[in-house]
Amino acid sequence: MSIRDNAWAMAHALEKKEISAVELANQHYEQIASVDKDVHAFLYLDKEGALSQAKEVDKKRAAGEKLSPLAGVPLALKDVMTQKGVPTTCGSKMLEGWRPPYDSTVVTKLKSAGIVILGKTNMDEFAMGSSTENSAFGPTHNPWDLTRIPGGSGGGSSASLAAFEAPLAIGTDTGGSIRQPAAVTGTVGVKPTYGGVSRYGLVAFSSSLDQAGPCARTVLDAALLHQVIAGFDPKDSTSINRAVPDVVAAAKKKDIKGMKIGVVKQLAGDGYQKGVENKFKEAVAELVKLGAEIIEVSCPNFEYALAAYYLIAPSECSSNLARFDSMRFGLRIGDDGVKGAEEVMNLTRQAGFGREVKRRIILGTYALSSGYYDAYYGSAQKVRTLIKRDFDAAFEKCDVLISPTAPTTAFKIGEKSNDPLAMYLNDIATIPVNMAGIGGMSLPCGLAEEDNLPVGFQIMSPAMKDDRMYLVGGALEAALLSKWGKPILDFAPKLAGSK
Amino acid sequence: MQEVAGADVPATSHPLAVNNVSREDVVTPSLTPVETLSGAPASEDQRFKVPQILGEE
């Protein structure tokens, strides 16, 4: 039993009492103590809470109680999900020191499954960014190369997996914030169908796009975590009241003979790094060997996805972030008994929000202003319909669609931080999935020859058919593993002090 | 976008058709006043204390 094992193997070792949940949590805290000064995946460690959770699991196991499959396995939680009594900052000064009085539904489900929450992971402020450089508490570094970004916004969650600080993590994906970090860190990340996992207690950025999902080192681990957190929740009015697809069985099946897999023509070519395209093509060849039929599909309206996304997301964020008004929680600046509420609110927002958040609030406020609403937000929502129609037409011919997850491998920290448009383009292949609300997965498909950095392979499945991406992902992962002879993370340089 | 998003195209905000959601009018557990005010920058007498909202007049 090692911290480099996958969550499934850890769960087995726990079940056979080869290790206790407390020992396993402590081993991960030791790894965090050794490597996180370099990686900076975590913003907060809840050692006391985690160990008491672990102790509880050990006690139940000793008493012979029936436990859930992942009971006792540790997890890293993106700092955008509320956890009662544990600081939740969303990577912002605005919420520094805030301890939410309630658990998000995802956390409630994790706790009742006995999953041990080690701490909160770093992220771009309020999940706005593709590099985790927009965190008010400093960037996270990619464990493959500490001078590079770990993706974003959930860079902390993915980096924690790649650095073996946790075997499981929770992310949230509004335009690619689970999948793109997974791609650039050589890990697995899944954005479930919108409405598949409750948003209750997920601090809202863009409500019609935000979706929490599982992050892990293997497809099966992601499926096991998916099963824990998914399902209807009356506390989220957009939650889907249907049975959760059997993603675990799908991940284990590994038989894709006869499946029709569509390659999206528009998600390739200009702007895609050569090594990314090559690794993608090699993975497609593996799918052919496994008996899948590959079809090229065209989604002409994807061309408008990025533009529409950068109207919808800022518009909804400008409305959602209005709650940070310094009155009920979070930061308050300048309250000297003389200044009025409006002035205090202005001073607080000036000091509390970072540049990217301010940029998006300003863009969104403009797009929603009287006289512009129909032209901007209204048109963008219509583009969503067109994108959805493209997907619908493609899914008539194919069971799943595939593409590279991100156009490039991990870029250097600082390389794009002064060029928002270049940063936004990194999400070009992930955004259509959010716009249509369907499911999307990223899994590693190799190392780009130019820079020896991981490349992400994206699988997209129709709404509430999330099992299909796990089926294809599980089969592809197994084929690639036998080709490589070892997991992709074993090719990464060892971090100083790492186990 | 306006080239393709014509009057004949409806808007989309959710992948599946979802209707307005309501629930039975029954009391369920909620936060206590102490919990609700626990994150407030300032509070007084079980209420949020805010800077003055109206001017002096």
Is A279 part of the contact surface with chain B (CB cutoff 8 Å)? no
Whether this model's ipTM surpasses 0.90 comes out as yes
Catalytic residue among A177, A403, A461, A498: A177
Q: Show residues of chain A in contact with B40, CB under 8 Å.
A: 327-329
Q: Phi, psi at residue A386, to the nearest 5°?
A: -65, -40
Check whether B18 has a pLDDT greater than 90: no
Check whether B54 has a pLDDT greater than 90: no
Question: How high is the pLDDT of residue A248?
Answer: 98
User: A47-62 vs A21-39: helix axis angle to the nearest 10?
Assistant: 160
Question: How high is the pLDDT of residue A176?
Answer: 98
| Count of structural domains within chain A | 1
Tell me if A307 and B31 make a contact (CB, 8 A cut-off): no
A484 assigned to some structural domain: yes
Whether A498 is catalytic is: no
Query: Which of the 8 DSSP states describes residue A401?
Result: E
Whether A153 is catalytic is: yes
Q: Show residues of chain A in contact with B13, CB under 8 Å.
A: 208, 381, 384
Quote the pTM value. Answer: 0.97
A357 assigned to some structural domain: no
Helix (H) or strand (E) holding A191: strand A188-191
A204 assigned to some structural domain: yes
Q: Show residues of chain A in contact with B22, CB under 8 Å.
A: none
pLDDT, chain A, mean: 97
Is B29 part of the contact surface with chain A (CB cutoff 8 Å)? no
Contact A119, A81 (CB under 8 A): no
Question: How high is the pLDDT of residue B22?
Answer: 85
Tell me if A384 and B13 make a contact (CB, 8 A cut-off): yes
A321 assigned to some structural domain: no
Tell me if A234 and B10 make a contact (CB, 8 A cut-off): no
Q: Show residues of chain A in contact with B51, CB under 8 Å.
A: 335, 337, 339-341, 343-344
Q: Tell me which residue in B9, B39, B40 faces A382 most closely, judged by beta carbons.
A: B9
With CA atoms as reference, the chain A residue closest to B22 would be A237
Catalytic residue among A153, A326, A403, A461: A153
Contact A466, A226 (CB under 8 A): yes
Give the pLDDT band of residue B57 (cuts 50, 70, 90).
Answer: low
Tell me if B16 and A464 make a contact (CB, 8 A cut-off): yes
Question: How high is the pLDDT of residue B16?
Answer: 75
Segments of chain A with pLDDT less than 50: none
Tell me if A386 and B52 make a contact (CB, 8 A cut-off): no
Is A198 part of the contact surface with chain B (CB cutoff 8 Å)? no
Is A326 part of the contact surface with chain B (CB cutoff 8 Å)? yes
The strand ranges marked E within A366-469 are: 400-404, 439-447, 454-461
Q: Tell me which residue in A99, A341, A381 faces B50 most closely, judged by beta carbons.
A: A341
Question: How high is the pLDDT of residue A421?
Answer: 86
Q: What is the nearest CA distance from B48 to chain A, expressed in angstroms?
A: 6
Across the range B2-19, mean pLDDT stands at 85
A52 assigned to some structural domain: yes
User: A274-289 vs A466-484: helix axis angle to the nearest 10?
Assistant: 100
Is A241 part of the contact surface with chain B (CB cutoff 8 Å)? no
Query: Which of the 8 DSSP states describes residue A378?
Result: I
With CA atoms as reference, the chain A residue closest to B14 would be A437
A359 assigned to some structural domain: no
Q: Tell me which residue in B12, B20, B50 faces A388 most closely, judged by beta carbons.
A: B12
Is B22 part of the contact surface with chain A (CB cutoff 8 Å)? no
Question: How high is the pLDDT of residue A373?
Answer: 92
A314 assigned to some structural domain: no
Question: How high is the pLDDT of residue A109?
Answer: 98
A444 assigned to some structural domain: yes
Check whether B17 has a pLDDT greater than 80: no
Contacts of A43 (CB under 8 A, 6+ apart): A79, A87, A89, A91, A119, A120, A121, A122, A135, A137, A156
Domain residues for the domain of A108 are 7-302+383-491
Query: What proportion of chain A, given as a percentage, has pLDDT over 90?
Result: 97
Query: CATH no. for residue A442?
Result: 3.90.1300.10
Spell out the alpha helix ranges (H) of A163-236: 179-185, 219-229
